[in-house]
Structure 1
Amino acid sequence: MLNSIKTFSFLFGYLPVAAVKLKSFQKKKPHLTIEEYDALIHTEPSKWASGIMKRTKSEVSVTGLELLPEGPVLIVSNHEGNFDIPVILSSIPKPFGFISKKEVKKLPVIPIYMEDMNCVFIDRTDRRSALKSISDTAEKLKEGHSILIFPEGTRSKGNGLGDFKAGFIRIASDAGVPILPLAIQGTADIMEKNDNKIKPAKVSLQILEPIAPETFKSMPSKEAIQFVKEKIELAFKNTDNQQK
């Protein structure tokens, strides 16, 4: 219970500090390149996410940092729990935005930050919004920003990989950028498996070999989806074998 109070207190308590920092960052924007501004904006979400993870008292192991490529990439990760984004934000030094449900826009400060991070908002109940999010995300990538997407569309809560929706392949193909697969395990143990109470957990984040556009563009869509999904599944199996 104490972990939950500390975590949620920090989650919202840090927002006034973030708001002040954002205003100072935006003043610098006209004088910075896209890469420089993305890196500057990333500093605060990364601090915020690190503070959240510290308060959960979870142990996070990260492998594959040396595989992070230069330039924009579509980061494709499985989606286990609500703490996936804090883990990824606090663990990966590469700036990125992500696709988020539109309800987040009702929160204070956070959506303003997300817009400057180049996040894309989607109304899952509206097919037109979903289709527009594909083109909007591809455009962000073409502009030079990296984006994170969870192709399962919803949290697995630690119950294995769900089906991958096809949109991410179209996005990466349209933008002509590599796909960077991530395999994340253990975030559901922080909250989802505890009746939404926060407890310490062991979390593993594996950064996998980037997949070049010419690799997945040469495949039929269904084959490309399966190809990426199998990369993540294999990473899970390797981790399970190492733990035995």
Structure 2
Amino acid sequence: MKRILFLIIRLLYRIPGWLLKIRSYNKHIDETTFEERFDFGQKMIRKINSKSRVRIHSFGQENLPAEQGYLIAPNHQGLFDALILFETHDKPFKAIVKKELMSVFVLGNVLKMLQFEAMDRENLRASMKVIKKATQEMSEGRNYVIFPEGTRCRQQNQMLEFKGGTFKTVIDAKKPIVPVALIDCYKVFDNNTIAPVDAQIHYLKPIFYDEYKDMNSTEIAHYVQECIEKCIAENENRF
């Protein structure tokens, strides 16, 4: 909470302009491109990151597939996860998020501007529509972020079990999976301090369709989680 208040104070002169721009984009969303709105959102978040007193250490961008339309599958530690992705992943992406986030003050408007897909986990039919749409867009070259744990893990650099259903979209789209290891991102907002912290993001080698086509979704989930666990174990004490 202290770091959030610290950021609000440091960015107070920018926040009104950002809110007006977000409101304008949402009001005229059909008159703008996704790429234009993503670019604005990315620049805004990078400015926030620059004022956050977080040292971001990014590795493995060279592993990202040249062909667009892949699944970015990170472990989930907290609020900073999305910010570090916007900081380090230059190409536009969409995400599947919990429906509840769409009603969060300010955040919901940002998610609407970016046209992130909201999933109601208690409504199977609606969830299938979201999965079908994400599959179609991924097939057409849109990158997607989905957190395989389904919710954040509150045990520092540990992980909850990855859910096989996360990978339904990419299996049907026959696109690459990029495992992403987030390390110490929980420290940014969970530690009630504004002291400088280090956070790591590692883009691991992609898993292409030919490599996972004979695996079921649960097996894929276990394999992706093992890749991330190995990376965390090797780098947790790096900074």
TM-score (norm 1): 0.83
Native 8 Å contact 1:97 1:146 kept in 2: yes
> Residue 162 of structure 2 aligns with which residue?
164
1:84 to 1:129, Cα distance in 2 relative to 1, 3 A: same
Does the residue aligned with 2:159 lie in a helix, a strand or coil?
A: coil
Greater displacement, 75-84 / 12-21: 12-21
2:32 and 2:162 mapped to 1: Cα distance? 39
> Residue 33 of structure 1 aligns with which residue?
none
- Give the superposition deviation at 1:233: 0.9
Does the residue aligned with 2:141 lie in a helix, a strand or coil?
A: coil
> Does the alignment pair 1:134 with 2:138?
no
Higher share of residues assigned helix: 1
1:28 to 1:193, Cα distance in 2 relative to 1, 3 A: closer
Specify the code of the residue in structure 1 equivalent to 2:21. V
TM-score (norm 2): 0.84
Native 8 Å contact 1:96 1:117 kept in 2: no
> Residue 184 of structure 1 aligns with which residue?
182
> Residue 101 of structure 2 aligns with which residue?
104
- Give the superposition deviation at 1:159: 4.7
> Does the alignment pair 1:154 with 2:151?
yes
1:182 to 1:26, Cα distance in 2 relative to 1, 3 A: same
- Give the superposition deviation at 1:228: 0.9
Matches within 5 A, 1:73-112: 73-107=70-104, 111=108
- Structure 1 runs not aligned, ≥5 long: 30-36
2:122 and 2:152 mapped to 1: Cα distance? 17
1:202 and 1:242 mapped to 2: Cα distance? 10
Does the residue aligned with 1:76 lie in a helix, a strand or coil?
A: strand
Greater displacement, 123-132 / 134-143: 123-132
Instruction: Determine which of 48, 51, 69 is the counterpart of 2:44.
Output: 48
1:126 and 1:156 mapped to 2: Cα distance? 23
Native 8 Å contact 2:53 2:194 kept in 1: no
Does the residue aligned with 2:236 lie in a helix, a strand or coil?
A: helix
- Give the superposition deviation at 1:156: 1.1
1:241 to 1:105, Cα distance in 2 relative to 1, 3 A: closer
Query: % of aligned pairs identical?
Result: 28
What whole-Å deviation, never above 9, does each CA across 1:148-191 have from its counterpart, x for those lacking one? 00010111131501100111221111111111111111111011
Q: CA-atom RMSD, angstroms? A: 2.7
- Give the superposition deviation at 1:21: 6.0
- Structure 2 runs not aligned, ≥5 long: none
2:167 and 2:25 mapped to 1: Cα distance? 35
Native 8 Å contact 2:148 2:162 kept in 1: yes
- Give the superposition deviation at 1:17: 3.0
Specify the code of the residue in structure 2 equivalent to 1:92. H
Specify the code of the residue in structure 2 equivalent to 1:73. Y
Native 8 Å contact 1:190 1:199 kept in 2: no
Native 8 Å contact 1:97 1:114 kept in 2: no
Matches within 5 A, 1:156-235: 156-157=153-154, 158-194=156-192, 199-235=195-231
2:195 and 2:96 mapped to 1: Cα distance? 27
